[in-house]
Structure 1
């Protein structure tokens, strides 16, 4: 591996949403330096963590309309039937839901699981329960998008967690979005749910680690054909 490749892998880009927080941590660290060297080093570690939290690495995304891609980094916490949030207008029937839990060390930039037109974006206030709990899907603060994909509507829901207090979504209704394209982030530990269209087959299991924008979490026809990829 060349020196350039090593630098790129070590120093990944930082998302602009993190700049104010990194600056605040850095200023606090300087203040702590005036009080104690020990506090200074503690602040330095926290500042480095904040920089790491807001990393926004490039991802190599499969380009294939038959595939559903993980919208987030983290651990698959549930795979099974569930009714989508009512505000998304997808009816009362169950769909296969795949949940990805992000801890405070995960990359928190969220990406579209499929391409299509965003038909709905709905934010709902709620609680801040542990995002690993199943009832977090219905009781926690959340922001949901419905993407009209080539195989029908796919819903992706950002869910705030015990520590997370801010959901950010910069996508807009009626916009077209590509698979793996960034659409938002959640600050400091959270979860993302994906509600699959009818006929989709999960390709991940509970406990598996997923990489946002890269891991195939479901397919729509079971075809073994290898997809093309693009860097995003």
Structure 2
């Protein structure tokens, strides 16, 4: 396991706060109320360890398959439905949405190899990530990837806690399946919009792994 580069500033700040809070706690509280000082220590240690865990990158054997669309994120499948895609394709698409809780790995990965045709950031609201309107009204970053087999739109969507979406791609870039697409901080959702007729390999409620689980075959 390694720590994602996006986490270094947040972890450093958390570590400094952990040290300061506990130095003050044991200097001014422990003598009078030792139990409270240890509670503060336990809570702040938990928060520091959570911060480290949030930015983890586990060691995995990534799936590489030209005939497959791989899940771009860890989490739970919360939506599989046909929808009108109005941002880029302007046609009917199959939408598969993956909800990422704060406990999930938050690295986002390219579902396919190909070329970036579209890359656009949208300001928006911070509705809870499972809200039906979060796909179109929340802050989000949309990317269209295409190859000779398929073309898909991937949306990184902010949730009620997610306040920063990071996207590493640009239009015209050639990308590889499983490589990093971006990162979302603190709870979020990723939508994948696929052509009608695409065979979906996941089910509602299924727990998936980014870069590993086959979402669909093309």
Q: Distance in 2 between matches of 1:191 and 1:69?
A: 16
1:15 aligned residue: 4
5+ residue gaps, structure 1: 1-11, 221-232
> Which has the higher Rg, Structure 1 or Structure 2?
2
2:89 aligned residue: 90
5+ residue gaps, structure 2: 26-36
Instruction: Quote the offset at 1:171 in angstroms.
Output: 1.5
1:26 aligns with 2:15: yes
CA contact (8 A) 2:142 2:154 kept: yes
Instruction: Quote the offset at 1:85 in angstroms.
Output: 4.7
CA contact (8 A) 2:115 2:175 kept: yes
Secondary structure at the residue paired with 2:117? strand
1:42 aligned residue: 43
Compared CA separation, residues 192 and 85, structure 1 to 2 (3 A): farther
Q: TM-score scaled by structure 1?
A: 0.86
Instruction: Quote the offset at 1:139 in angstroms.
Output: 0.8
Q: Distance in 1 between matches of 2:58 and 2:215?
A: 20
State the Cα deviation string for residues 89-134 of structure 1 (Å, max 9, x = none).
Answer: 212x110010000000000000011110011100000000000111
State the Cα deviation string for residues 148-207 of structure 1 (Å, max 9, x = none).
Answer: 122232111000001000000112221111111111010000000001134311111110
Q: TM-score scaled by structure 2?
A: 0.91
Q: How does 1:30-109 map to 2 (within 5 A)?
A: 30-36=19-25, 37=37, 38-86=39-87, 89-91=88-90, 93-109=91-107
Q: Distance in 2 between matches of 1:72 and 1:218?
A: 14
Q: Distance in 2 between matches of 1:215 and 1:135?
A: 26
How many residue pairs match? The answer is 206
Q: Distance in 1 between matches of 2:132 and 2:77?
A: 12
Q: Distance in 2 between matches of 1:189 and 1:181?
A: 21
